[in-house]
Amino acid sequence: MSTQYRDKLETFENQFPGRDYLIEIECPEFTSVCPKTGQPDFGALAFEYIPDTKCVELKSLKLYLQCFRNEGIFYEDITNRILDDFVAVVEPRMVLLTAEFTPRGGISSTITVHYPES
């Protein structure tokens, strides 16, 4: 699995590492490209995570996600790749990533992945 965009993600120190608390991040304007047709795909990403020692810096997350704008990649691949990169950099206690893609050909898809795996 490629990690080519992972270095875009930045973190800052969690000021409350002894407390479990939930951070929710909504990214309603995610775009990528269908690898079969070359047409744009549109979706919304929702991150829910419990930080450990680090929190994700939001501007870096935005710039990281923009890297996929012209990448031809399937929904399942991109959702799992984003989760893998997020976990590798942020090292959260828990993260749930939900990717809801707008309909293409009358069919919409929602991909949900989580760490740690259950």
Residue 56 pLDDT = 98
Structure confidence by residue, pLDDT tens digits, 16-37: 999 999 999 999 999 999 999 9
Q: What's the chain's average pLDDT?
A: 95
Give yes or no for a cis peptide into 116 (omega within 30° of 0): yes
**Active-site option among 27, 34, 52, 84:** 34
Is 77 an annotated catalytic residue? Answer: no
Q: What pLDDT, on a 0 to 100 scale, did the predictor assign at position 2?
A: 62
Q: Could you check whether the bond before residue 103 is cis, i.e. omega within 30 degrees of 0?
A: no
Task: Determine the pLDDT at residue 24.
Answer: 98
> Residues for the chain: how many in total?
118
For the question of residue 34 being annotated catalytic, the response is: yes
Provide the β-strand partners of residue 41: 32
Question: Is a pLDDT exceeding 60 seen at residue 39?
Answer: yes
The DSSP code for 72 is B
- The residue with tokens 């479990």 is 20
| Share above pLDDT 70 across residues of the chain, in percent, rounded to a whole number | 97
- Catalytic one among 7, 20, 27, 41? 41
Selection from 46, 27, 36, 28 nearest residue 104 by Cα = 36
